[in-house]
Amino acid sequence: VGEDQSADLQRLFTLTIETLETQIAIIDLVSEVGGWAGAFENTVVPVSDDRLLATFRDVTEIRLEHDRLVWLADHDHLTGLPNRRNLEQQMAASLTRARKTSTPAGFVFIDIDDFKAVNDSRGHDAGDVLLQAFVTRLQSAVRDQGIVARLAGDEFAVVLDSVASSAELESILDHVMCEVRKPFDISAGEITVTCSAGAVLCAGDEAITDILRTTDKAMYRAKHAGKNCYRITPVSASKE
């Protein structure tokens, strides 16, 4: 073990001798380059006033599986994006920042138009590859202005911090729509898609349920307007 881990073990051994009580702790191993390299569960049992028995169990695989399950609870397995549960946490944080800074936050729902036709004509594997490519394109278009999440299927959401005005939100959406219209070159061939989007601007005191409902309605207004466009709606519209 390295110097840091050795010190952790020494403290564990000392505590066992001082208390004469069994101690159990997990010690993380760090590689020479500084990354996490594994973990061992250490059980230290006092045998006498100055003797102890230590056993070590490699729990690296258990920890990796645990971390994977924790990650999956908050992320989409296909795209690696935050899932709906994670999205609401990101929204809550964004609303808090909006209240503190008095700068609105923007929330966007995006749905790929006629995505079912891609699955039907090219197959579900091609559809999955397209979704992954779409995510990469969407993240690139949003850049560091926001966080992209996957709601379900071909539906995505974007959380935008510090959107100064409706005009800025429109500028962001115009750029996203323009980037998405560019052909996707995937293994199944070139595919061109469009998307429909709904968006809202929030001051920070709105309820997340109202934001989600209003943004969803705005997106479907864009669908009914002929697709390949977006609509921006006040959150208060959800109470009409």
- CA angle 146/147/152 to nearest 5° reads 135
Query: In which band, very low, low, confident or very high, does the pLDDT at 236 lie, cut at 50, 70 and 90?
Result: low
The catalytic residue among 8, 50, 120, 154 is: 154
Averaged pLDDT of the chain: 90
pLDDT in tens, 83-117: 999 999 999 999 999 999 999 999 999 999 999 99
Q: Residue 154 catalytic?
A: yes
CA distance readout (Å), 102 to 97, 145, 232: 8, 17, 20
pLDDT tens profile 171-227: 999 999 999 999 999 887 899 999 999 999 999 999 999 999 999 999 999 999 999
Span 139-151, mean pLDDT?
91
Predicted pLDDT of residue 125: 92
List residues bridging with 195 in a β-sheet.
112
User: Of 87, 209, 217, whose CA–CA distance to 160 is shortest?
Assistant: 87
Residue 54 confidence (pLDDT): 93
Q: How do residues 20-42 score in pLDDT, each as one tens digit?
A: 999 999 988 877 777 788 899 99
Q: How far is CA 89 from CA 32, 85, 225, 232, in A?
A: 35, 7, 31, 22
Supply the pLDDT for residue 1: 61
Q: What would the mean pLDDT of 77-82 be, rounded to a whole number?
A: 93
Residue tagged 């056993």 (tokens): 55
Query: Can you give the pLDDT at residue 239?
Result: 42
Whether residue 72 has pLDDT greater than 70: yes
Q: What percent of the chain has pLDDT over 70?
A: 96
pTM: 0.75
pLDDT of residue 238: 42
Is the pLDDT at 240 greater than 60, yes or no? Answer: no
pLDDT given for residue 230 in this prediction = 96
Distance CA 102, CA 31 (A): 44
